[in-house]
Chain A
């Protein structure tokens, strides 16, 4: 959180900028915030900040389309939307949280606190060290639909070794099917959902 562009804010109103600066100082370890005036670089994928704070009127229309582009370029980033009015669920599904201008102070602070610890939290949920790096590689390939033979070719190991690894993986994870391993791989960030569709 301490590197320069970890937090990017697209906020035009001076009052809001000042408020955000102050809140981040308090609730995000005084991390540096980069203010930009246009979302273009995020939509193009040039900026992929871990935390993106957005004013809703900074998002080019169609809003969902823009948000989806940002999301596809920056999969692990968190987005906080600052909003005046209630928003629809479609928009909500793209962002981590929504900060309403009308929210009272306590709620705003609570939301910010949750927003900035979110990445750490989601990692502690998902990191699973029970399988070795080699086994992770194999889970990944299985999830991508590779056969044992293909895996043995890719990793330069014998098919027999692949089978042994797969047995150990099933025993350790408690997951037997390819579909189950795929879900495991995505939940644990071993693969991305779009890698699957690309196959």
Chain B
């Protein structure tokens, strides 16, 4: 199902509930009645086209509209990425951490150590994710916004050129790998190697959360890698070329 301007938002959720956290990122909350996508975007002052591209690309990897998404102002994309960071750091990570702590509490004494290992591993993963996001927000995003602003307002000074020469978005392009690998490992350690606990529903719930988180993060890095980075590379190239004259 492709979501269109006239699609009822509630139908979109029934079609795929994984969209829920994406809606939150646009400030949309539940209780929206029979409102359509177009109406809610107007109400929330969300760019309708951008909303459609983000939502549809989340639902269907093959749909991924790199060209269209690259037409949106970088600020819009950066803002969206920032809001998903809030979702990861303020909601998902504490929630999963709490569940893993509960898992440890429930573990039988003979296996406590194994569960402590998982707790440590998760803590390490969390630290990596925090560092990764912090670096993005403190270094990469300000750089993108600065270059973007200068480019569109046609105020490319010598400072900007120097900055592009020094920083370059490519430096940050393939930085996701280790964080993604750790999440993958965490899932497999729980699925394959951790002894079972009597309350299997908790282990299941943790895995559900990890799978969902992974899916969300993958979508997130796809937007960064396929939209943000190529668009920045194009801008950087133009800045450097125009400076040659």
Contacts and interface: CB of A to CB of B under 8 A. Distances in A.
Interface of A: 78, 92-93, 95-97, 118, 122, 125-126, 128, 173-177, 179-180, 183-184, 186-188, 193
20 contacts: A92-B109, A95-B109, A96-B110, A125-B195, A125-B196, A128-B192, A173-B192, A174-B184, A174-B188, A175-B185, A175-B188, A176-B181, A176-B184, A177-B178, A180-B181, A180-B185, A180-B188, A186-B113, A187-B193, A187-B194
A177 B109 contact: no
Interface in B175-217: 178, 181-182, 184-186, 188-189, 192-196
B192 to A, nearest CB: 6
Contact of B193 (A78, A95, A118, A128): A128
Interface in B157-186: 178, 181-182, 184-186
Nearest to A122: B110
Contacts of A180: 121, 181-182, 185-186, 188-189
A151 B130 CA distance: 32
A176 B193 contact: no
A188 B121 contact: no
A154 to B, nearest CB: 24
B207 to A, nearest CB: 14
Contacts of B120: 183
Describe B's contact surface by its main secondary structure.
helix
B70 interface: no
Contacts of B192: 128, 173-174
B111 interface: yes
Interface residues of B, number: 24
B182 A187 contact: no
B185 to A, nearest CB: 3
The winner among B109, B118, B188 for most chain A CB atoms within 10 A is B109
B92 to A, nearest CB: 20
A175 B124 contact: no
B112 interface: yes
B112 to A, nearest CB: 7
A177 B125 CA distance: 11
Nearest to A184: B193
B126 to A, nearest CB: 12
A187 B189 contact: yes
Nearest to B196: A125
B185 A186 contact: no
Contacts of A184: 189, 193
A183 B120 CA distance: 9
A180 B109 CA distance: 23
A118 B186 CA distance: 26
Contacts of B189: 175, 180, 183-184, 187
Nearest to B188: A174
B117 interface: yes
B117 A187 contact: yes
A176 B113 CA distance: 22
B173 to A, nearest CB: 20
Contacts of B195: 122, 125-126
B221 interface: no
Contacts of A187: 114, 117, 189, 193-194
B110 A188 contact: no
B208 to A, nearest CB: 18
Nearest to B118: A183
Contacts of B184: 174, 176
A179 B124 contact: yes
Contacts of B111: 122, 125
B168 to A, nearest CB: 27
B37 to A, nearest CB: 38
A94 to B, nearest CB: 9
Given A126-B195, A183-B118, A176 B185 contact: yes
Nearest to B112: A93
